[in-house]
C-alpha cells in the first residue's frame, strides 16, 4: 500500500505522501473484519480465527457502517477485554491517524507490533500479517514526525519488514483470503503509483482469492479511480454499495468518481449526480471524523462551482 520512494523532487515527494496515507489506511481496513463469536469469519469460510467480539463490532461500525463514534466505543471495550488482539491496537492506530493524534498513533503502532510478535508463536499466519501491519504503522509514524524528505529512508526500512512478514504469511497459506486482501491492496497502490507496473495483476489477486467482497470491490474502485478509468471505478463502487449501502464513505467515493468522469466528458448531469452523492455522504456527517467532513464539503463546493 505505498508509491514512489525517491525524494528527488517535490512531485515525487507528494506522491509518496499520498501513497503512504492511502496505503496506511487500507492496510488497517484490511485486517479488521472478523466475526468469531458466531464463527462467521468473512475472510475464511472454514477454520475461523478467534478474535474478540468488541474488535469485530468496532470494525463493522467503522468500515462497514462508516460510524466512527460507535467504533470508538467498541474499541475502548476491546482494549480492556481483548488485550492480546493486535487488531484492536491497529484500529486504534488507524483512528489516531485520522484524528492527527501522533502520540496515540505511535503508542498503538508499537502495541500492534508487540502483540503481533507474540501471536506468531500460536498463529504464524495472522501473527506475521499483523507484524507487517505494525511495521507499516511505525513507518507512518516516522513520516508523520519527520516529513517526507527526512523520513522516507527510515520508512523504507520498515517497508522491507512489511514485505518480509507478508512473504512469511504467504508461504504458510498462499490462497488465504485475508492475506490476499492485504497484499492485493498493497500491490494495487504500488501499481497505480509506480511506472511500468501492472495493476491488472493486483486486481486479479483480489478478485480470485481475497475477501470479504465489499472490501475487494471498494479497493478496485479506488484503483480504477486513480487510474482515471472512471466507468470501471463506478462499476465497482456500485458493487460495494450493494452490500454496504449504509456507509457514507462509499457515497463520497462514488461522488469523486462521478465528478471526475463528468469533468472529463463535460457532462453537467453527471456532476449533478456527484453533488447528490456528496450530499448523501453528508447526511451522516455526525458519525464521521471532522477532517473528513471538511474535505467532503470542500469537494462538494468545488463540484458545484464547476457548474456555474
* Mean per-residue pLDDT, 271-288: 97
Report DSSP letters for 125-180, one per residue: HHHHHHHHHHHHHHHHHHHHHHHHHHHHHHHHHHHHHHHHHHHHHHHH-TT-HHHH
Q: How confident is the model at residue 196 (pLDDT cuts 50, 70, 90)?
A: low
Residue corresponding to grid cell 527526512 = 150
Whether the predicted pLDDT of 22 surpasses 90? no
C-alpha 67/C-alpha 58 separation (Å) is 9
Residue corresponding to grid cell 517535490 = 10
* Mean per-residue pLDDT, 231-258: 96
The dihedrals phi and psi of 77, each to the nearest 5 degrees, come to: -70, -35
pLDDT in tens, 106-134: 999 999 999 999 999 999 998 999 999 89
Which residues does 198 contact at the CB level (< 8 Å), separation at least 6? 191
Is residue 21 helix, strand or coil?
helix
% helix / strand / coil in the chain, to the nearest 5? 75, 0, 25
Cα 104 off chain centre by: 19
Whether the predicted pLDDT of 24 surpasses 50? no
Whether the predicted pLDDT of 40 surpasses 60? no
pLDDT at 4: 31
C-alpha 207/C-alpha 54 separation (Å) is 29
Mean pLDDT of the chain: 83
pLDDT at 35: 31
Give the pTM. Answer: 0.82
pLDDT at 193: 66
Whether the predicted pLDDT of 291 surpasses 60? yes
pLDDT at 191: 77
Q: Which range is most confident: 85-94, 145-154, 215-224, 269-278? A: 269-278
* Grid cell of 36 as nine digits: 468469531
Report DSSP letters for 198-264, one per residue: -HHHHHHHHHHH---HHHHHHHHHHHHHHTT-HHHHHHHHHHHHHH-TT-HHHHHHHHHHHHHHHHH
Whether the predicted pLDDT of 150 surpasses 70? yes
Of 77 and 156, the one with more pLDDT = 77
Which listed CATH number (1.10.260, 2.20.28, 1.10.3210, 1.25.40) goes with 10-229? 1.25.40
Among residues 99, 27, 80, 85, which one has the least CA distance to residue 56?
A: 85
What is the radius of gyration, based on Cα positions, of the chain? 19
Cβ atoms of 57 and 74 closer than 8 Å: yes
Amino acid at each position: 500500500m505505498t508509491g514512489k520512494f525517491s525524494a528527488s523532487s517535490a512531485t515525487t515527494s507528494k506522491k509518496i505522501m499520498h501513497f503512504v496515507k492511502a496505503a496506511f489506511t487500507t492496510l488497517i481496513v484490511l485486517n479488521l473484519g472478523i466475526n468469531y463469536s458466531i464463527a462467521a469469519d468473512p475472510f475464511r469460510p472454514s477454520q475461523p480465527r478467534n478474535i474478540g467480539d468488541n474488535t469485530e463490532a468496532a470494525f463493522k461500525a467503522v468500515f462497514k457502517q462508516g460510524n466512527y463514534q460507535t467504533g470508538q466505543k467498541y474499541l475502548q471495550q476491546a482494549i480492556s477485554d481483548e488485550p492480546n488482539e493486535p487488531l484492536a491496537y491497529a484500529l486504534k492506530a488507524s483512528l489516531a491517524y485520522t484524528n492527527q493524534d501522533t502520540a496515540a498513533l505511535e503508542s498503538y503502532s508499537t502495541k500492534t507490533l508487540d502483540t503481533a510478535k507474540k501471536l506468531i508463536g500460536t498463529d504464524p499466519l495472522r501473527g506475521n500479517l499483523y507484524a507487517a501491519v505494525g511495521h507499516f504503522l511505525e513507518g507512518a509514524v516516522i513520516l508523520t514526525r519527520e516529513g517526507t524528505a527526512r523520513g522516507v529512508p527510515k520508512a523504507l526500512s520498515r517497508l522491507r519488514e512489511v514485505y518480509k512478514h507478508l512473504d512469511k504469511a504467504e508461504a504458510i497459506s498462499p490462497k488465504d483470503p485475508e492475506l490476499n486482501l492485504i497484499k492485493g491492496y498493497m500491490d494495487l497502490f504500488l501499481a497505480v503509483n509506480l511506472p511500468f507496473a501492472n495493476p491488472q495483476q493486483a486486481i486479479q489477486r483480489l478478485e480470485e482469492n481475497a475477501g470479504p467482497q465489499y472490501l475487494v470491490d471498494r479497493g478496485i474502485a479506488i484503483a480504477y479511480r486513480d487510474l482515471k478509468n472512471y466507468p470501471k471505478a463506478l462499476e465497482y463502487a456500485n458493487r460495494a454499495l450493494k452490500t454496504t449501502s449504509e456507509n457514507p464513505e462509499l457515497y463520497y467515493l462514488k461522488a469523486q468518481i462521478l465528478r471526475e468522469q463528468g469533468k472529463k466528458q463535460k457532462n453537467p448531469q453527471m456532476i449533478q449526480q456527484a453533488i447528490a452523492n456528496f450530499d448523501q455522504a453528508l447526511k451522516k456527517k455526525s458519525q464521521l471524523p471532522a477532517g473528513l467532513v471538511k474535505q467532503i464539503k470542500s469537494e462538494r463546493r468545488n463540484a458545484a462551482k464547476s457548474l456555474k
